[in-house]
Amino acid sequence: ERIFHIRDHSDVLIPASHQAELIIDKGSAQQFLLKYGFMRPGSWEESQSDTALVPAAASTAPFDMTPLIQEGDSGSRAGKESASKDPAENPTFISALRDFQEVSGLRVTGVLDDATKAAMNKPRCGVPDKALDSNVTATANATDTRLNQTLFISTTAAGATRGLDSTHSRDGPTGSLGPER
């Protein structure tokens, strides 16, 4: 039990603003799939041809930001706009959902059912489950200052993914992670 000092526990109650938004509909599910790597940023834009920006989740994730991604927040705004078109019909969304259901040990239906929502709402780590596509590797040689550390890491994470779990593998790093600028 969290330690409280006031009889009504008001000092440990978490204000609503500090509650994570639950995943209850397809739009938030789509954000989840994008954030954790089950959907690639590019594929999602292609199906929304009039948006050129990547959604915030992808751009602000500490592990898969590429220098080509400009402003993270605008992406999330774009994400909401795209929600107006029903992702349920989006084949990419459905296949990503099936992928998530498969790795989570759920029945693979491609439908955002309650069990899938519950799995998405579990407490979890913020690192993506899947490495994103390999052109992130090309950015590995960005300058190595702490601010750019995420760039270096995501590539390597991709490399690490590859060596250990073939179901998530993508093609390997294109070599030379050395000190080139």
Partner 1 sequence: RKRFLETLLLRKRRRRDLTGAGQVGFSKKVLKWRLMGEGYSSQLSIDEQRYVFKLAFRMWSEVCPVEFEEDLTSPLFEIDVRLGFGTGRHLGCAQSFDGAGREFAHAWFLGDIHFDDDEHFTAPSGGNGISLLKVAVHEIGHVLGLPHIYRGGSIMQPSYVPQDSAFEIDWMDRKAIQQLYGGCKGRFNTVFDWVRKERTPYGELVIRFNTYFIRDSWYWLYENRSNRTRYGDPIALQVGWHGIPSDGVDAYVHVWDWRTDAAYFFKGTQYWRYDSENDQVYTQDSEGQRYPRLISEGFPGIPSPINTAFYNRRDSRIYFFKDLHVYSFDVRTNKKVNGFPMRITDVFPAVVPGDHPIGNLDVAYFSYTHNSIFFLKGSHFWKVVSSQDRRQNPSLPYNGVLPRKDIDSHWFDICNVHMSTLKM
Helix (H) or strand (E) holding 97: helix 91-103
Note whether 136 binds partner 1 by CB under 8 A. Answer: no
By the 8 A CB rule, do 126 and 119 touch?
Answer: no
Q: How far is the CB of 89 from partner 1 (least distance, A)?
A: 26
Which CB sits closer to partner 1, 13 or 52?
A: 13
Exposed, middle or buried: residue 148 (CB in 10 Å: 0-12, 13-18, 19+)?
middle
Residue 127 makes contact with partner 1 by CB under 8 A: yes
131 part of the interface to partner 1, by CB under 8 A = yes
Considering only residues 47-76, where is the footprint of partner 1 by CB under 8 A?
60-63, 65, 72
How many angstroms separate the CA atoms of 171 and 163, rounded? 10
Give the count of residues interacting with partner 1 (CB under 8 A). 50
Contact with partner 1 (CB under 8 A): which of 104, 134, 139, 141? 104
Near partner 1 by CB under 8 A, which window of 46-54, 82-90, 107-115, 155-163?
A: 155-163
Contacts of 130 (CB under 8 A, 6+ apart): 36, 37, 38, 161, 168
CA distance 162 to 5: 49
Tell me if 166 contacts partner 1 by CB under 8 A. Answer: no
Give the C-alpha separation, 13 to 26, whole Å.
29
CA distance 144 to 122: 34
**112 is a contact residue toward partner 1 (CB under 8 A):** no
Interface residues with partner 1 (CB under 8 A)?
A: 1-3, 14, 17-22, 36, 60-63, 65, 72, 103-105, 119, 121-129, 131, 144-146, 149-150, 152-154, 156-157, 159-161, 163-165, 168, 177, 179
